[in-house]
Amino acid sequence: MRDIAVVAFSQSACVADIGAVNEVELIMPQLQAVYAQVGLSSAQDVDFVCSGSCDYLQGAAFAFVAGVDALGAVPPLKESHVEMDAAWALYEAVLKIRTGHADSALLYGFGKSSPGELPAVLSQRLDPYYLAPLWLDTVSLAALQARMLLDSGSITESDMAAVVSRSRQNAQANPLAQLAGDIGVAALLQDDYLLAPLRRGDCAPVSDGAAAMIIATVEQARRWGVPYARLTGIDQRIESHNPCMRDLTDSVSTRQAAAAAGVHEAALDVAEIYAPFSHQEIILTRALGLDEAIAVNPSGGVLAGNLMMASGLARVGEVFQRIVNGDARRGVAHATSGPCLQHNLVAVLEGA
């Protein structure tokens, strides 16, 4: 199989409400940034483009069609789209490059969640016959999951607060984060419950923004002469939809994807995990088999800012940046999709 490298990444600042900025305006600065990193002039200089977005965030069919306007697709481009987080667009592009039909790919994800009530909107992702009519929102579902975890005795509310505290502290070094600060466990536990046992800090904020990435074969990356990180493994698995049909205190699909991606074939020193709720970071850290020595979410993770449809791709981008900056040699990135961690993607990146 062809060796594939990540060569460029950029994401916008996470902001609660970007105001009168449309999707094209969200995407374009990130595209310009990744072109500049590689020295490309436009999307015409890559072989394939794939994006991730969700129509319901902006309340229009075909949200991604506007995205094409950001590409300068004249002459026409080889282009595809997943109605998923852009981490799955990365997955599609990796397969495309492996077929030999492309040597390079541009990926982007974008979401403007501020116009709607995100947790309620996403309730309509559930089984339309048995669950969606209950308007069971994402925060309520996560609260049920956290309660199961607490009742099992495998975590405490202090453990959850410790995740939030570390996220806020790490985010102080991340200028793109929405929530950052020096706040300890005791102070976090003083907050009222938003939806017991979740406090507001246990839940990722709602953010507007976009992210973009360029990947290529290692040969192409060398021809471009830019620093790169090798993408040595990528896998994604889904599991049962019904929250009653699986063990919510574990993430079996993450374990499967991690094994298939070869996470533990060598030592790791960084992990970026897409955990929109504090207790989910603990579930995922365990499922990924990460020990204490590994820096988890040094960016602050999505608890410090959550770009819907781009956060998964951004986790890969964060690991890439740490490797090319020399802060890490080998890292794992994780993306999730669906209620209570139903669908998970794991990618492994290594220094050149």
Query: Where does this chain bind another protein (CB under 8 A)?
Result: 1, 20, 22, 49, 54-56, 58-62, 64-65, 68-69, 71, 73-84, 88, 91-92, 95-96, 98-101, 121-122, 124-129, 132, 235-242, 245, 252-253, 256, 337-339, 342-343
Q: Which residue number, 84 or 229, has a Cβ lying nearer to another protein?
A: 84
Least distance in angstroms from the C-beta of 106 to another protein: 12
Q: Which residue number, 76 or 326, has a Cβ lying nearer to another protein?
A: 76
Least distance in angstroms from the C-beta of 168 to another protein: 30
Q: What contacts 19, CB < 8 A, 6 or more positions away?
A: none
Q: Which residue number, 20 or 293, has a Cβ lying nearer to another protein?
A: 20
Rounded CA separation 340/352 (Å): 35
Q: Which residue number, 49 or 107, has a Cβ lying nearer to another protein?
A: 49
Least distance in angstroms from the C-beta of 22 to another protein: 5
Rounded CA separation 38/186 (Å): 45
Least distance in angstroms from the C-beta of 325 to another protein: 30
Q: Which residue number, 247 or 327, has a Cβ lying nearer to another protein?
A: 247
Rounded CA separation 206/17 (Å): 9
Q: Which residue number, 268 or 308, has a Cβ lying nearer to another protein?
A: 308
Tokens 């850290």, residue located: 285
Q: What contacts 93, CB < 8 A, 6 or more positions away?
A: 48, 50, 102, 105, 107, 215
At 241, give phi and psi (nearest 5°): -75, -40
Handedness of CA 94, 230, 174, 214 (dihedral sign): negative
What is the CA angle 116-312-50, rounded to 5?
90
What is the CA angle 165-331-153, rounded to 5?
45
DSSP 3-state of 293: coil
Least distance in angstroms from the C-beta of 84 to another protein: 6
Q: Which residue number, 82 or 150, has a Cβ lying nearer to another protein?
A: 82
Least distance in angstroms from the C-beta of 259 to another protein: 12
- Report the candidate in 285, 258, 333 with the shortest Cα–Cα distance to residue 87: 333
Least distance in angstroms from the C-beta of 38 to another protein: 21
